[in-house]
Structure 1
Amino acid sequence: MPRMTMIEAIRSAMDVSMERDEKVVVFGEDVGFFGGVFRCTAGLQKKYGTSRCFDTPISELGIVGVAVGMAAYGLRPCVEIQFADYVYPAYDQIVSEAARLRYRSAGQFTCPIVIRMPTGGGIFGGQTHSQSPEALFTHVAGLKVVVPSNPVDAKGLLIAAIEDPDPVIFLEPKRLYNGPFDGHHDRPVTAWSKHALGEVAEGHFTVPLGKAEVRREGSAVTVLAYGTMVHVALAAAEEKGIDAEIIDLRTLIPLDLDAIVASVKKTGRCVIVHEATLTSGFGAELAALVQEHCFYHLEAPIQRVTGWDTPYPHALEWDYFPGPARIGEALSAAMEA
């Protein structure tokens, strides 16, 4: 199988989908002629023409609003918001129109759109290019929310999202865009990353939405993570020498609760990791679910390791991120309780 970066895998997913289905259209700011600020759409306009891959004005509200109309008409838009931080002007269209179209029309219309967004930090982008807003979307009934952690999943999940009849928020961790990563920006990849990152099948395949994946088997403590934090958690477990079971959620909504419950009941301990801020982050929902479903199996308090409850710090972003050291402390706390 060819080796791909996550950028190449995402581009391949759109290419495969556009080739298989002429109703799939790709658009957004700079995605056509330029190929996107991260080059995820490079070459698509040349291959499929300006009617199927095109540039838009700088209007996120307009991008999503047009996509909703196209979807109601029968097309399958896959649109790009250049950075997740830019999505807020489009939030009303996502919440009030895209998420509710099937319900409001009593099933007469569906809204098969995908909204792709680079998310998280790692490029010294500052407060307006580094946010992790996934909890704003997991709260909204009618949306599906996906966060891949590697190129294989990025391609398979994106194809599945494009083929899904309902709106999907597809969050792409930009720290993972260009290659393997294990939690340290200047260190070689972990054994799992060497195996799983990069080797991506050509052609069409899907990874089902709503299914988590165990990235590291263990019996002492369960770690729930997604996106970039999967790799950071792997690094922490290896450095600490703790027999941690690390679950890559992959899809936040729908959530694979069965996989989470099975793991926590086995280990009796749970550490939750995400890059977004602590208060009202998606980890709070995970903690509540674990407590509700696994209370009599828990042998220690649930631990959360997250970003700080502060505006995103430009100069101090590597201190803001949950790193292996902070996750290691949480693993130790869970084991010692």
Structure 2
Amino acid sequence: MKAQTSSVIQADKGWRIWWQLARPHTLTAAFVPVFLGTALAAKDHAVHIPLFLAMMIASLLIQAATNMFNEYFDFARGLDHEESVGIGGAIVRNGVKPKTVLNLAFILFGIALLLGVYISLSTSLWIAVIGFVCMLVGYFYTGGPRPIAYSPFGEFMSGFFMGFVIIQIAYFIQTATISQQSVLISIPISVLIGSIMLSNNIRDLDDDKESGRRTIAILIGRNNAIKLLATMFAFSYVWIIFMTIFTEAPYWLFITFLSLPKAIEAVKGFMGKTEPLEMMPAMVATAKTNTFYGLLMSVGLIISFFI
């Protein structure tokens, strides 16, 4: 009986190691853009479910693989240790071989690539080119001699490719076109995804500075970085007002304001904090702001189709 209980515990622990390695709290940054782009496409087109599922799975796999590359390369550069906050910890805490993490990331990329082939053959070969560029950005975010994450451009690159580009692809594969509304709606989501990266850099500012990184949070300082985060949140909500006044966007998009308390919680959570562990709740609130905002925007769009 004890042996069976021990096996169950070990199996549960093993599952959790791999789940934590994928950093599930970041996966909504891949889920939301695909769901939103598809929801917008559903206004005038019947949704092609297999394409939607292929796009969703491919995006989640690329995001998980990017997190694994991050885990591997940060360890290889000596940046991660057992007390590091915000990492999966598979290598430094759970004894997983670094090469195993790297190989798993490439396997996920391979599966995403096969799904991309299906999507591009069903729609346009340009999707294969754009998707491959997205994968390169995911790899070089922490890989290569000059990682994007170590520069001031991490927030912009992640927001642009994970937000703007993914929404346009999700919309295009359903409609065979790009619209003004798909572009406008992708802007606040891009900003909010960038805010997730900014919150990460605010939390890791001291360690990043010691390792020689040059993130925007380091360049402008912690207090100004928190102000920038607040500005990014404010812009995302003001953008809804702009769209409903000056474009044909439905007033149902105001439902996104229900996520505003999470944004306020995130900003307040960073104020006066200097220890990474103290700032983890604020970082979680930032990620949830993106999730709630994006899903509420999708709900608003869907409701507007029937009213």
Q: Which of structures 1 and 2 has the larger relative contact order (alpha carbons within 8 angstroms, sep 6+)?
A: 2
* Larger strand percent: 1
